[in-house]
Structure 1
Amino acid sequence: MRSIRARLLLVLLGMLALIAVVMGGATYRNVLAETEALFDYQLRQMALSLRDQGEVSQTQADALANEQLDFVVQIWTLDGRSIYATRPHEELPSRALLGLADVSVKGVVWRTYSVATPGRVIQVAQPLATRQRLAAEAALRSVIPLLVLVPLLAALAWWLSAMALSPLNRVANDVKARDGKLLQPLGVEGLPDEVSPLVNALNGLLQRLGQTLDTQRAFLSDAAHELRSPLTALKLQIESLRRAPDDAARMEAVTALSDGVDRAARIVEQLLALARSEPGAQPPAMEELDLCELVRQAVADTVPYALSRGSRFALQADTPVTVRGERQGLTALVRNLADNAVRYAPRGSQVELRVSVEQGAPVLQVDDAGAGIPPSERERVFDRFYRRAAGGEEGTGLGLAIVKSVAARHGASVTLSDSPLGGLRVQVRFPAP
């Protein structure tokens, strides 16, 4: 049973039924006992009223002889001779037991009360079955209002459960009416304290979802804009290749086309790397990695580009340094740092990479001899597609954005500062094991 309302109704109705049974049983027994006590009181009063009289008057005898009267009165002399009876009855007790007593005569049980006077014995009797029937009827009449009240209370419980759960229904209907474009917070006014935490959590989720959607829209818009230029250039270069008048022009067009393809492939590769490092992407598979070996492999992928510019790498990573992370993401981080250092440094310069442990935390440091980044722009360069005019080098504006995103997923921090080589120093500090 998954319905809260059904569970609530089941509990309430079960409690109501249990209370009704207990109260009904207690009321029935109490009324039954009180009625029996009342009948005993009537027996005593009738016997005592006859004791104080010298004889039974004719009017009183006629009244006592009424067949509709359940009471039977008998009077004996002290020697046992019957001198009065309200009416002949074969099943009447022939002897008196003083006080209250239950007397059985021929299978019929009588409730009697007898009292002795100086000259006679008076007994008032009543059939026990009649007493019990009358007492049961009186007790049942006292329970009937409770039986009538139970359905009303059940209806009230049903209404109260509906009223208690109406805030949840309101919140559910409000959420159901939302779509991807309607992510405003849910209203919290008038909600009970038990529902407010749920609504606040949903509002936080809607806010994060809205931020994620806005980020994705901006990312797609910027990606489309960035891809439009290289794709257009590729189309123009293909047209130039088609119209080349001689082999020299054709070779020049092929070279330009190859460079355009490389630039488009780099943009696509960086876009995919950035998408994989987004906060909403699938969590990476973490493993224990040797940061020194990972840096060597990532730098090896950038060596051909560095050689084409006459640049070289200097790597200081002799002692194994263990980090816990995702291999593909960290490889992209190192590759982008190395590529940026070579791209924005003068041709023929040196790029230094160092892996070390500082205060128990693994640190990756990259130094170049380029123009560096002014302190006023060191926060903006982590934005997607943000590019600075530096030495006429073309870039995508995604390298440092990928580095920042991958580092954030690994709990690492990225800081930019001036390098002793004259350019930029990038330092990535990983959390201590």
Structure 2
Amino acid sequence: MAKPLLSTLRGRLFALLAVLGAVTALAVGGATYVSVRAEADQLFDYQLRQTALSLRDQGRVDGDDAATLADPSLDYVVQIWSLQGLELYSSRPQGMTEPLPARAVLGFSNLRLGGQDWRVFSAATPLRVVQVAQPLAVRQKLAALAALRSVVPVAVALPLVAWAVWWLIGVSLAPLSRVVQAAQAGGANALDALPTAGLPGEIAPLVEAFNGLLGRLSAAFDTQRSFVADAAHELRSPLTALKLQLGLLRDAAPGEQQDAAIARLRGGIDRAVHLVEQLLALARAEPGAAATRLPLDLAELARQAVGDVQPLADKAGVSLALTAPDPLPLTGDPQALRGALRNLIDNAVKYGARTVQVSASRNPGGPAGAPLLRVDDDGPGIPPEQRERVFDRFQRGEDASVEGSGLGLAIVRAAARQQGADVSLADSPLGGLRAEIQWPAEPRA
């Protein structure tokens, strides 16, 4: 559907430039008109003066000059007077009813004679006075015609310039039109980058920023689709197990057999609940999720996380120690950071460590005052070539006997990045694995 001219960028630019061009053309044309008229008046005055001076220097008006001056179509009037006031010569064009006055004003003057205005130049010699006159109406008409002829090229060029401006605006906006067509051609799920070739410098950053947004949306959608697919796959197994355990419970005889079936069913429900909680924690930590920013004490948060895992450590016979001597104020999401640290400690306890040391301090090797959370253990550790892969979702360790969802380290990395920190794995001085959550600089509470 065609859009109104002024609703398009091309139309608005053309309208503004057309108004500017019209105002400029009027100003230039008006100035040219006034200037040419003034120059024409000066030229006519020069002709009057030269004619009078040439006749003043002649002894008499010969036959040829008299015939020329007597031409009725000539708009000049020439009269020569003696010093006694006698008319020696006079040429009168058609329509002139009375002669010029004998008493002339030397030089240029204006007078009204026979119902019209005249421009007169008078020159005197010791023997006579020469007067040359021209109707002001004739002068003004000739001057106006000369001025109009000088303005005609501007008037003729104006439409051509307007067409050229319209065409140039269209050429300049053609890359933007291609961007619009590319955006309209895509379907509802099309997140391909828009073309940026040839875009003006003022529009290219906008399209590039939009392409960046499309890229982030595409990555988020891919992550979401992958997350949903992995979650559905992982939930299928515990739900199937629950269904089987429910059937075993129904068929179990009352007594020890039924109690064992109930215990297995309760364990399956606990694992399913844990998996759902881990999925929710990962969803809250994924890019794009709203991040909570509250003042917190990292040392206190570490004590709470250690307290959460302490019963599991006591049950497994693991020595769990914490070093957090000073308050570490910063701004972040207490729940997300507490859950991330709890997952790191929980992994160390589950995967065979006998000693786990947790510390919250300022990073001595990083930016001044940057907080650092560290978990060291003496367990089997993770080979260096596998340390990046274990951050993938649903990636479990090599020990198949350890129950888990494979989401712990994925949650840790997502939560840390959401808080502006990063997670790294390295060898621990205790002989096992060291996990660190590091901030790049000192956050302010």
Structure 1 partner of 2:70: 64
Structure 2 partner of 1:371: 380
Structure 1 window deviating more from structure 2 (414-423 vs 236-245): it is 414-423
State the alpha-carbon separation in 1 of the partners of residues 211 and 12 from structure 2. Answer: 28
Structure 1 window deviating more from structure 2 (258-267 vs 388-397): it is 388-397
In structure 2, list runs of 5 or more residues that go unmatched.
Answer: 1-5
Output the amino acid matched with 2:262. Answer: V
Structure 1 window deviating more from structure 2 (146-155 vs 189-198): it is 189-198
* 1:338 maps onto 2:338 in alignment: no
Structure 2 partner of 1:289: 296
Structure 1 partner of 2:86: 81
Structure 1 window deviating more from structure 2 (12-21 vs 193-202): it is 193-202
SS of equivalent residue, structure 2 residue 80: strand
State the alpha-carbon separation in 1 of the partners of residues 71 and 421 from structure 2. Answer: 109
* 1:395 maps onto 2:396 in alignment: no
User: Please, what TM-score do these two structures have when normalized by structure 1?
Assistant: 0.86
Q: Give the counterpart of 2:413 among 404, 417, 424.
A: 404
In structure 1, list runs of 5 or more residues that go unmatched.
Answer: none
Q: Give the counterpart of 2:332 among 325, 328, 334.
A: 325
1:265 Cα deviation after fit: 1.1
1:183 Cα deviation after fit: 3.6
> How many pairs are equivalent?
429
State the alpha-carbon separation in 1 of the partners of residues 150 and 395 from structure 2. Answer: 87
SS of equivalent residue, structure 1 residue 365: strand
CA 1:89 to 1:281, structure 2 compared with 1: closer, same or farther past 3 Å? same
State the alpha-carbon separation in 1 of the partners of residues 20 and 294 from structure 2. Answer: 56
Structure 1 window deviating more from structure 2 (44-53 vs 409-418): it is 44-53
Q: Is the Cα–Cα contact under 8 Å of residues 381 and 433 in structure 2 kept in the other structure?
A: yes
Structure 2 partner of 1:207: 215
Q: Could you give the per-residue CA deviations for residues 366-403 of structure 1, whole angstroms, max 9, x where no partner exists?
A: 34454332333222211211112326112111111111
Give the alignment's Cα RMSD to 1 decimal: 3.2
1:179 Cα deviation after fit: 4.2
SS of equivalent residue, structure 1 residue 402: helix
User: Please, what TM-score do these two structures have when normalized by structure 2?
Assistant: 0.84
Q: Is the Cα–Cα contact under 8 Å of residues 91 and 106 in structure 1 kept in the other structure?
A: no
Q: Give the counterpart of 1:20 among 25, 48, 57.
A: 25
Q: Could you give the per-residue CA deviations for residues 283-323 of structure 1, whole angstroms, max 9, x where no partner exists?
A: x2323322222123233333444455455633333433333
CA 1:58 to 1:159, structure 2 compared with 1: closer, same or farther past 3 Å? closer
* 1:260 maps onto 2:264 in alignment: no
* 1:142 maps onto 2:150 in alignment: yes
1:144 Cα deviation after fit: 3.0
CA 1:420 to 1:34, structure 2 compared with 1: closer, same or farther past 3 Å? closer
Q: Is the Cα–Cα contact under 8 Å of residues 277 and 329 in structure 1 kept in the other structure?
A: yes
* 1:114 maps onto 2:144 in alignment: no
* 1:235 maps onto 2:243 in alignment: yes
Structure 1 partner of 2:255: 247
Output the amino acid matched with 2:436. Answer: Q
SS of equivalent residue, structure 2 residue 322: strand
* 1:54 maps onto 2:60 in alignment: yes
Output the amino acid matched with 1:71. Answer: Y
Output the amino acid matched with 1:176. Answer: Q
CA 1:279 to 1:62, structure 2 compared with 1: closer, same or farther past 3 Å? closer
Structure 2 partner of 1:430: 439
Q: Give the counterpart of 1:30 among 26, 30, 35.
A: 35
CA 1:214 to 1:296, structure 2 compared with 1: closer, same or farther past 3 Å? same
State the alpha-carbon separation in 1 of the partners of residues 410 and 285 from structure 2. Answer: 10
1:35 Cα deviation after fit: 1.8
SS of equivalent residue, structure 1 residue 40: helix
State the alpha-carbon separation in 2 of the partners of residues 138 and 418 from structure 1. Answer: 96
Q: Is the Cα–Cα contact under 8 Å of residues 106 and 121 in structure 2 kept in the other structure?
A: yes
SS of equivalent residue, structure 1 residue 76: strand
State the alpha-carbon separation in 2 of the partners of residues 186 and 97 from structure 1. Answer: 82
Q: Could you give the per-residue CA deviations for residues 50-83 of structure 1, whole angstroms, max 9, x where no partner exists?
A: 55363564994596262x4432232322210224
Structure 1 partner of 2:229: 221
CA 1:209 to 1:291, structure 2 compared with 1: closer, same or farther past 3 Å? same
Structure 1 window deviating more from structure 2 (195-204 vs 27-36): it is 195-204
Q: Give the counterpart of 2:103 among 62, 78, 95.
A: 95
Structure 2 partner of 1:157: 165
Q: Is the Cα–Cα contact under 8 Å of residues 178 and 195 in structure 2 kept in the other structure?
A: no
CA 1:108 to 1:298, structure 2 compared with 1: closer, same or farther past 3 Å? same
State the alpha-carbon separation in 2 of the partners of residues 137 and 93 from structure 1. Answer: 31
